[in-house]
């Protein structure tokens, strides 16, 4: 090399090899007019390596591919051993050189560059040509519209930008041009620009002229972070999933806060809580279903109401009723007033098996059996039909007064009939028939004593008896935050809840419901 760089020899050539094992980005170039045609005289592996000048200042060096025509110079002049490539010469191959396809012959085109035969040098997003090729057709064909949301609305995918002639566009592309990034500048006298990153599969990332970001994958999509993830949506968010949806929180807790209503619609709704499940509302809680079941597997079911508890069942078609079963326990009803009414008949039946019990209220009832009706005031039994009292032993006794009245009153005993009065006994009537052989007056006392013995051990009736020993208690729902409503899209104000209609005390509240 002499005269420093005064004797440069310029050349135009074709790249025949880019597999530089030193990873320096060099290529082997056959310079036209300097090297002989490709063949045995000078095979490709004997060509000198050419340094490719890098104008990116280290951003990303681009290595010319095999088949590219390049322009450069030999630093060592006519010795031609130190070539440098300055740039690529764009062109379009419209005919095959002689010997194409036969390795080792002049004009051989390697297979990796055959796809560029007849292709324009400018990318389709710059030239507007060959728009029918590439992934744009696939992207447009699979543009979804009328996508249903969980509400009554639908939405459409935004259109993906297609190739059009715009020489101001900047395109960064792969060697074959199937993967590319388009930085679009507005065409003269036209508004709008966009950024498009497209993959050969059709997957795309786009920012359209309105600033709308659209991401579509023709494969799978994975999002993973080792840190926190925050999403902020100032408008609405709609998600449509064609198949399954799952959410799992490995550690910690989850929380959903919605200012408005929350509607969930599904086939079967299953909620499993490993601890407690709490549902609370400030106004009303409604549960309805074709069939409703409540099951407490280890403890009690508590129903507490600030006002009334109402039960209604059945209709004229199905004749549904109200059933309570407690085969091994007690049924207790305590009320200020109690009314029982039936349209057809009322039956009270006791099997007569002596009780085995530790009950203390209203009184100890071990060995009790039969049916008892107790009142410190009045027990009245009235009927417009017939009244029948029958039993192996039947006693009617009043410590003050006992009356049997009616249009016709029959007192009959197949065996012994005793009528006894500690004071005056009167039999009045227009006609009084008294037969022969009345029994001893002491018989009535014996009959009453026998009835008491059959009933089991008795104690005095308490003046303030209560049969319910366990008072229902429910969890206090606590203070429910007030709803928040926006006034004309401005600041939020507190919207007060409606007055509560029920309030329950804690389970451990000695006073029970408040």
Q: What is the pLDDT of residue 127?
A: 82
Length of the chain: 514
Q: What's the pLDDT score for residue 41?
A: 83
Alpha-carbon separation of residue 215 from 134, 178, 202, 208, 384 (angstroms): 18, 18, 11, 11, 85
Give me Rg for the CA atoms of the chain: 50
pLDDT at 378: 82
Residue 197: pLDDT over 60: yes
> Do the bridges between strand 49-52 and strand 83-89 make them parallel or antiparallel, or are there none, so unpaired?
parallel
| Domains, the chain | 9-121 (2.40.50.260), 125-216 (3.10.450.190), 309-397+444-470 (no CATH)
Cis peptide before 362 (omega within 30 of 0): yes
Q: Average pLDDT over the chain, rounded to whole?
A: 79
So what's the pLDDT on residue 176?
Answer: 77
Asked if 478 contacts 504 with a C-beta cutoff of 8 angstroms, the reply is no
Which H or E run includes 138?
A: helix 136-141
pLDDT confidence of residue 102: 53
Q: Residue 436 and residue 395: Cα distance in Å, rounded?
A: 22
* pLDDT score recorded for residue 450: 61
Tell me the two tokens of residue 476. Answer: 């206090």
Least confident of 59-63, 197-201, 295-299, 423-427: 423-427
pLDDT band at 386 (very low <50, low <70, confident <90, very high): confident
SS3 state at 495? strand
Taking the alpha carbons of 55, 57, 59, 60 in that order, is the dihedral positive or negative? positive
Give the mean model confidence (pLDDT) for residues 190-208: 89
| DSSP result, 388-456 | ----SS-----SS-----SSS-----SS------SS------SS----S----TTHHHHHHHHHHHHH-
467 has pLDDT over 70: no
- Give the per-residue pLDDT at 98: 41
Q: Which segment, 337-346, 371-380, 477-486, is predicted with the most confidence on average?
A: 337-346
Tell me phi and psi for residue 450, to 5 degrees: -65, -40
The per-residue pLDDT for 173 is 86
């Amino acid at each position: 090399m002499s005269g420093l760089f005064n004797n440069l020899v310029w050349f135009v050539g074709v790249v025949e090899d880019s597999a530089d094992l030193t990873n320096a980005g060099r290529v082997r170039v056959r310079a036209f007019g300097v090297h002989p045609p490709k063949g045995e005289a000078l095979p490709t592996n004997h060509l000198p390596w050419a340094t490719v000048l890098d104008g990116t200042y280290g951003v990303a060096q681009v290595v010319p591919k095999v088949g590219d025509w390049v322009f450069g110079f030999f630093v060592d002049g006519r010795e031609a051993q130190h070539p440098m490539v300055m740039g690529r010469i764009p062109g379009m191959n419209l005919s095959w050189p002689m010997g194409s396809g036969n390795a080792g012959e002049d004009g051989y085109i390697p297979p990796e560059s055959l796809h560029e035969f007849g292709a324009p040098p400018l990318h389709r997003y710059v030239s507007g040509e060959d728009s029918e090729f590439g992934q744009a057709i696939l992207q447009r064909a699979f543009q979804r519209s009328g996508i249903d949301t969980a509400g009554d609305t639908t939405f459409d995918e935004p259109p993906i930008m297609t190739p059009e002639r715009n020489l101001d566009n900047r395109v960064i592309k792969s060697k074959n041009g199937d993967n590319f990034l388009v930085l679009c500048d507005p065409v003269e006298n036209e508004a709008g620009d966009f950024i498009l990153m497209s993959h050969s599969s059709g997957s795309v990332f786009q920012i359209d002229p309105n600033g709308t970001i659209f991401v579509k994958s023709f494969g799978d999509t994975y999002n993973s972070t080792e840190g926190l993830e925050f999403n902020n949506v100032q408008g609405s968010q709609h998600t449509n999933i064609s198949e399954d949806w799952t959410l799992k929180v490995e550690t910690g807790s989850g929380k959903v806060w919605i200012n408005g209503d929350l509607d969930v619609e599904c086939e079967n709704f299953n909620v499993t809580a490993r601890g407690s499940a709490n549902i609370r509302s400030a106004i009303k809680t409604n549960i309805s279903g074709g069939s409703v079941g409540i099951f407490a597997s280890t403890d009690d079911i508590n129903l507490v109401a600030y006002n009334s508890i109402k039960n209604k069942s059945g209709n004229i078609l199905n004749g549904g009723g109200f059933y309570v079963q407690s085969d091994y326990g007690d049924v207790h009803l305590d009320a200020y007033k109690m009314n029982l009414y039936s349209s057809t008949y009322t039956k009270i039946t006791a099997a007569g098996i002596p009780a085995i019990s530790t009950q203390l209220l209203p009184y100890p009832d071990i060995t009790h059996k039969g049916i008892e009706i107790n009142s410190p005031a009045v027990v009245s039994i009235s009927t417009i039909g017939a009244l029948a009292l029958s039993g192996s032993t039947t006693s009617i006794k009043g410590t003050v007064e006992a009356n049997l009245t009616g249009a016709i009153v029959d007192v009959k005993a197949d065996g012994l009939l005793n009528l006894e009065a500690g004071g005056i006994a009167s039999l009045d009537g227009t006609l009084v028939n008294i037969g022969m052989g009345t029994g001893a007056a002491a018989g009535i006392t014996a009959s009453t004593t026998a009835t008491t013995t059959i009933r089991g051990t008795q104690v005095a009736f308490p003046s303030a008896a209560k049969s319910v020993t366990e008072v229902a208690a429910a969890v206090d729902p606590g203070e429910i935050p007030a709803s928040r409503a926006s006034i004309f899209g401005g600041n939020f104000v507190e919207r007060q809840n409606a007055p509560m209609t029920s309030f329950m005390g804690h389970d451990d509240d000695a006073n029970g419901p408040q």
